[in-house]
């Protein structure tokens, strides 16, 4: 992507928080006085993030990903070229932070019916992200791919995630039975030294592997090889993605909340949370951005949903993320957002220029309900509905703000991802919690180990048996 200074300027994201303020929401909005009263805590959060940038021990390696991957990017681009030449399909095996990013970037930056396009119109092999262990899904994936002509990217930092490793066992077995050398069809993305995939790679005689850096957790890993390889395979310009992230980093250098969009967003969310607004709806007005909500839901929920502060004080914090899509969910959820409890903040992702405009032809001039649409474009229609929904929420005194993407492309998506990562880091610092761990997820993982008989989990197995459903309460 060619990025002149002028173009970079045109493609800058903006944050519009007009509809969060009391000036526009009356008593339901946030006043300048309240924002001013939070300038200190915002500044402290900014200082925490800025002064711990890149620290592996604090899992803040993600801040440096836009800058420290030149060699890796070159290697990924070479590998992606080889994969495009040699395979008909590319399958990501991973879950959580190892899968949501690749799905989201593919949906955002590739054709919405990518896999249905003829090969000549696709920039890469067919693309699948298998992030579940639904047996039907696995079987039906195998109905549509030829394992011998498929490259499998096994993404797991730990190499101990049951879902991903079960998938790998199935695929490795199939490749073996087909007489294929596993090494030829598999790429690992994992921790540099620890973890089972390193051991498996050695046993197989050295599988092509990419490193998920030590200080980068799953949900902050999209701009690492976790996301970059799958994206590059599908022809996404990964250098532009990283350049977009670097621009957002620059846009958020200031510790002044009024000059740093991610810090302002985090501060407003923090104020809203203190006031009991514990639900955050992310509503992109773009099908390409639909899965940004899935990726964001993990980032926001897993990072902020905690029960202990950094000073070991009990707490129960976090905001429940809700995924919505404009305009589709205007016809399902917006009724609740407009008239239901005052417990939400709605964030719109709006787009200035869609890559298609799609004119609406004139017709049925005698039916006013239909005729007025003729001569407009679908771009105008979706933008009008976005504006109208924000207006209706504002009139109803509902907190909402808009992040605007001038276009949806690699450079703007890179900005958006880094914006959300920074916003999450700032919000976590304001809440004084560990933003980067996930003990609640680990508990479920361990219980699964116990249920499936993993050695070392026998005691927990007894506990689980005791907690089995009581027939007295089953109707």
Q: Which residues are catalytic?
A: 302, 331, 445
Can you tell me which of 19, 69, 153, 164 binds ligand PA5, judged by CB under 6 A?
A: 164
303 contributes a contact to ligand PA5 by CB under 6 A: no
Can you tell me which of 302, 379, 410, 421 binds ligand PA5, judged by CB under 6 A?
A: 302
- Cβ distance to ligand PA5 smaller for residue 64 or 191: 191
**Span 141-160, contacts to ligand PA5 by CB under 6 A:** 156-158
- Cβ distance to ligand PA5 smaller for residue 99 or 232: 99
124 contributes a contact to ligand PA5 by CB under 6 A: no
383 contributes a contact to ligand PA5 by CB under 6 A: no
- Cβ distance to ligand PA5 smaller for residue 351 or 433: 433
Binding mask 211-230 for ligand PA5 (x = CB under 6 A): ------xxx-----------
Cβ of residue 219: shortest distance to ligand PA5, in angstroms? Answer: 4
102 contributes a contact to ligand PA5 by CB under 6 A: no
Can you tell me which of 242, 257, 438, 450 binds ligand PA5, judged by CB under 6 A?
A: 438
- Cβ distance to ligand PA5 smaller for residue 35 or 104: 104
Cβ of residue 451: shortest distance to ligand PA5, in angstroms? Answer: 17
Give the 3-state DSSP-derived string for the chain, with helices as H, strands as E and coil as C: CCCCHHHHHHCCCEEECHHHEHHHHHHHCECHHHHHHCHHHHHHHHHHHHHCCCCHHHCCHHHHCCCCCHHHHHHHHHHHHHHHHHCCEEEEECCHHHCHHHHHHHHHHCCCCHHHCCHHHCCCCEEEEECCCCHHHHHHHHHHCCHHHEEEEEECCCCCCHHHHHHHHHHHHHHHHCCCCHHHHEEEEECCCCCHHHHHHHHCCCCCEEECCCCCCHHHCCCCHHHHHHHHHCCCCHHHHHHHHHHHHHHCCCCCHHHCHHHHHHHHHHHHHHCCCCEEEEEECCHHHCCHHHHHHHHHHHHHCEEECCCCCEEEECCEEEECCCCHHHHCCHHHHHHCCCCEEEEEEEECCCCCCCECCCCCCCCHHHHCCCCCEHHHHHHHHHHHHHHHHHHCCCCEEEEEECCCCHHHHHHHHHHHHHHHHHHHHHHCCCCCCCHHHHHHHHHHHHHCCCCCCHHHHHHHHHCCCCHHHCC
Cβ of residue 158: shortest distance to ligand PA5, in angstroms? Answer: 3
95 contributes a contact to ligand PA5 by CB under 6 A: yes
96 contributes a contact to ligand PA5 by CB under 6 A: yes
428 contributes a contact to ligand PA5 by CB under 6 A: no
Q: What is the separation of C-alpha 444 from the centre of its chain, rounded to a whole number of angstroms?
A: 22
Cβ of residue 442: shortest distance to ligand PA5, in angstroms? Answer: 9
98 contributes a contact to ligand PA5 by CB under 6 A: yes
Contact by Cβ (8 Å): 30, 268: yes
Cβ of residue 155: shortest distance to ligand PA5, in angstroms? Answer: 6
- Cβ distance to ligand PA5 smaller for residue 218 or 284: 218
What are the backbone angles phi and psi of residue 199, rounded to the nearest 5°?
-65, -45
Cβ of residue 227: shortest distance to ligand PA5, in angstroms? Answer: 12
Cβ of residue 308: shortest distance to ligand PA5, in angstroms? Answer: 18
Instruction: Point out the residue whose Cβ comes nearest to ligand PA5.
Output: 218
- Cβ distance to ligand PA5 smaller for residue 46 or 157: 157
- Cβ distance to ligand PA5 smaller for residue 25 or 198: 198
Residues of this chain that bind ligand PA5 (CB under 6 A): 95-98, 156-158, 161, 164, 217-219, 302, 438, 441
């Amino acid at each position: 992507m060619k990025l002149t200074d002028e173009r970079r300027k045109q493609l800058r994201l903006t944050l519009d928080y007009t509809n969060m303020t009391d000036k526009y929401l009356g008593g339901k909005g946030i006043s300048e006085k309240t924002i001013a009263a939070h300038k200190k805590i915002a500044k402290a959060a900014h200082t925490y993030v800025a002064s711990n940038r890149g620290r592996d021990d604090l899992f803040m390696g993600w801040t440096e990903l836009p800058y420290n991957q030149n060699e890796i990017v070159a290697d990924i681009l070479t590998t992606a070229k080889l994969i495009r030449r040699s395979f008909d399909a590319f399958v990501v095996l991973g879950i959580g932070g190892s899968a949501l990013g690749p799905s989201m970037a593919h949906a955002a930056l590739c054709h919405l019916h990518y896999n249905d396009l003829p090969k000549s119109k696709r920039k890469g092999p067919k693309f699948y992200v298998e992030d579940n262990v639904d047996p039907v899904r696995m079987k039906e994936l195998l109905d549509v791919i030829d394992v011998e002509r498929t490259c499998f990217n096994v993404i797991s930092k730990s190499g101990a995630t049951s879902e991903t490793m079960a998938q790998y066992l199935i695929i490795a077995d199939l490749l073996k039975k087909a007489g294929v050398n596993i090494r030829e069809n598999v790429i690992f993305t994992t921790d540099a030294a620890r973890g089972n995939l390193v051991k498996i790679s050695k046993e197989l005689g050295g599988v092509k592997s990419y490193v998920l850096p030590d200080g980068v957790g799953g949900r902050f890993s999209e701009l690492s090889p976790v996301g970059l390889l799958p994206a590059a395979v599908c022809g996404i310009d990964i250098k532009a993605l990283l350049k977009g992230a670097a621009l957002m980093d620059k846009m958020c250098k200031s510790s002044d909340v009024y000059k740093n969009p991610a810090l302002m967003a985090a501060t407003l969310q923090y104020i809203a949370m203190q006031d009991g607004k514990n639900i955050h709806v992310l509503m992109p007005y773009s099908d390409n951005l639909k899965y940004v909500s899935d990726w964001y839901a993990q980032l926001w929920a897993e990072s902020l949903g905690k029960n202990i502060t950094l000073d070991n004080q009990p707490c129960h914090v976090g905001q429940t993320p809700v995924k919505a899509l404009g305009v589709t969910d205007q016809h399902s959820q917006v009724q609740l957002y407009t008239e239901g409890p005052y417990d939400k903040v709605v964030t719109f992702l709006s787009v200035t220029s869609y890559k298609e405009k799609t004119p609406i032809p004139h017709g049925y001039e005698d039916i006013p309900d239909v005729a007025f649409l003729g001569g407009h474009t679908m771009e105008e229609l979706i933008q009008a509905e976005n504006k109208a929904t924000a207006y209706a929420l504002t009139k109803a005194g509902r907190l909402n703000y808009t992040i605007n993407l001038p276009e949806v492309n690699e450079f703007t998506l890179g900005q958006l991802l880094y914006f959300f990562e920074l916003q999450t880091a700032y919000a976590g610092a304001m809440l004084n919690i560990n933003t980067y761990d996930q003990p609640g997820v680990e508990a479920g993982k361990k219980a699964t180990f116990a249920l499936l008989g993993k050695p070392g989990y026998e005691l927990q197995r007894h506990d689980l048996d005791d907690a089995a459903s009581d027939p007295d309460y089953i109707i």
